[in-house]
Amino acid sequence: MLASFLWREINKNANTNTENSRRVIQMFTVKETKKTKQIELWKDGKAVQKACRDCGRVKLIEDFTRKMEGNYRVECKVCFNVKQREYLEQNRDKRAVERQNYRARILGMPDNFTEEDLQELKRFSNGRCLISGKKVENLEIDHFQALSKRFFGSTKGNIILISREVNQRKGTMSIFEFIESKRSEGLIDKKQLSRTFKYLASANGLSVPQYIQLLKDAEKLAHNARELLR
């Protein structure tokens, strides 16, 4: 059963690949790998073909990545790339959270934003920029008050999702500076922004007026500190 499957696969390769066909018409030794029990076709003391564990196809050994210890991966390069991409996607959020916490940590600020916080924020934003209210494909993670103000760090109460457009136009401006600047033209949705203030205030355990006061105080402090260091 297995042998006939292998021969069918080999002949399929032979028909479609002339370079390969020269190799496959010669006799092979069928071996089973010790650890993973995979079928490999050996010739002159070398593996030349192998069955991929994931797609089940028998492929040239060059279609498998060789690992450090000299063995080939259990899945072919095509399957490995698919898995790698899926893995990276699943881990994108995790890495984004780690990156934001790291950025705060090296500045000595709170760094306790979690993946759960990010998921909750995503549900809250529902695909919309939390400043402009616009629905965009790829929202960017940003600090509502810039880390450079050295006050709020990477926490549930300071991380928001915004569009690239808002992110680039806002730069390190505070939300208040941004609202008053010409750069925010057409990019402020008052209703959205008020929801965002409520969300962040609550995450900081404050009322909205208290939270706004704290933001302004922190900015004043940051400004004064800059002046002092001049």
Site residues (CB under 5 A) for Zn ion? 52, 54-55, 76, 79
Closest contact distance (angstroms) between CB of 22 and Zn ion is 23
Closest contact distance (angstroms) between CB of 25 and Zn ion is 24
CB of 85 or CB of 220, closer to Zn ion:
85
CB of 84 or CB of 194, closer to Zn ion:
84
CB of 50 or CB of 143, closer to Zn ion:
50
Closest contact distance (angstroms) between CB of 39 and Zn ion is 13
Closest contact distance (angstroms) between CB of 41 and Zn ion is 16
For residues 75 and 121, give the distance between their C-alpha atoms in angstroms, rounded to a whole number: 37
CB of 78 or CB of 214, closer to Zn ion:
78
CB of 76 or CB of 162, closer to Zn ion:
76
Closest contact distance (angstroms) between CB of 34 and Zn ion is 21
